[in-house]
Amino acid sequence: MKKSCDFSLASDTEPQSSALGSGGQGSPSKSKFVPHSVTVPIDIRPGQIYLYGEHHSRDEYLQKELDLWATFYAMGVRDLFIEDSYAGAAFLNEWMQADDDEILLRLYDDLEGTMAHSQNALGFYRCIKENFPETVFHGTDVDHQYYSTGERYLNALRDAGQENTDAYAIALENNKQGKRYYELLEKDENAGESYRENCMVHNFIAAYERSGGVCIMGIYGGFHVDQEGENLLDGTPRMAQQLAKQYGERLHTEFEALLI
């Protein structure tokens, strides 16, 4: 039996990248809800990739994403790709095994000043932990919080003597991506966004290969998932458009029609 969760709904007044989902600031109203399975055609053979696009911070999308994940989870899928950094997802995976919310709340504090610093983000992840405890998160964005979440994760690996591990190398590269992205944004917004989009493709492919090519579900901003949308101004294709060239018919994407 799935558990009801505290899910706080917040406004979406400012579009902004997020590492823990998205949400608005202000005074949230609260509601109880239970994720339900939905009827969608899913081929869970290895190699199948299902990406769902969202409007960040809208509660109806978070609800539908939980419903979708309930369906995938019931069919044996455990790998959930999200628009987060490698370090952020690694900390979420640690939190999934923890007895308290200390790790989650530390991530939440890192996001102060962003749209992700809202109660609906906390409710979304708490609901996953309560109802789908074997979920494994994979973060494939650049590290927007490279100076906080990213650096703390690298420090933890250093303290554990794990500087020669794959995890350290991946987190370090992701940290550098975040720094480079914001350096480019200051000089040329278009160059920065193209750099980020290409990094997201690179990171996704690498993470998917590390997963062993199992069937996965992913949640990203609708811009990155839209295969029909226009390229970026410099001609860079969107993430899903590039992934389609890599994975062909194994890639399945849905945006507004399914999620609203």
Q: Which two three-digit tokens encode residue 101?
A: 């919310």
CB atoms within 10 A of CB 4: 14
For position 37, what pLDDT does the model report? 87
Average pLDDT of the residues of the chain? 87
For position 138, what pLDDT does the model report? 98
Q: Inter-axis angle of helices 86-96 and 151-159, to 10 degrees?
A: 60
Mean pLDDT for 101-113 is 93
Mean pLDDT for 20-33 is 41
* Cβ 140 vs Cβ 44: under 8 Å: no
Q: How far apart are CA 257 and CA 260, in angstroms?
A: 6
**Residue type at 79 in one-letter notation:** D
For position 240, what pLDDT does the model report? 97
pLDDT band at 166 (very low <50, low <70, confident <90, very high): very high
Mean pLDDT for 179-208 is 97
Q: How far apart are CA 25 and CA 203, in angstroms?
A: 30
Strands 251-254 and 216-221 turn out to be: unpaired
- Least confident stretch, 24-33, 58-67, 99-108, 162-171: 24-33
* Cβ 125 vs Cβ 104: under 8 Å: yes
Q: How far apart are CA 91 and CA 68, in angstroms?
A: 23
pLDDT tens per residue across span 124-140: 999 999 999 999 999 99
Is residue 34's pLDDT more than 60? yes
Q: Which two three-digit tokens encode residue 221?
A: 């901003």
Q: Which residues of 231-240 are buried (b: 16+ CB within 10 A; e: fewer)?
A: ebeeebbbbb
pLDDT tens per residue across span 39-81: 888 999 999 999 999 877 678 888 899 999 999 999 999 999 9
For position 260, what pLDDT does the model report? 40
For position 10, what pLDDT does the model report? 38
Residues 6 or more apart in contact with residue 164 via CB below 8 angstroms:
none
- Least confident stretch, 11-25, 33-47, 77-91, 200-214: 11-25
pLDDT band at 33 (very low <50, low <70, confident <90, very high): low
Mean pLDDT for 75-102 is 97
For position 121, what pLDDT does the model report? 80
Q: Which two three-digit tokens encode residue 110?
A: 């890192």
Q: Which two three-digit tokens encode residue 95?
A: 């939190």
* Cβ 197 vs Cβ 238: under 8 Å: yes
pLDDT tens per residue across span 10-23: 333 333 333 343 33
Residues 6 or more apart in contact with residue 92 via CB below 8 angstroms:
84, 103, 104, 107, 125, 137, 139
Which residue, among 23, 251, 241, has the nearest Cα to 123 in the 3D structure? 23
Q: What percent of the chain has pLDDT over 90?
A: 70
Which residue in the block uniquely carries the two structure tokens 């290409």? 198
Which residue, among 71, 69, 48, 52, has the nearest Cα to 208 in the 3D structure? 48
**Residue type at 125 in one-letter notation:** Y
pLDDT band at 6 (very low <50, low <70, confident <90, very high): low
For position 232, what pLDDT does the model report? 92
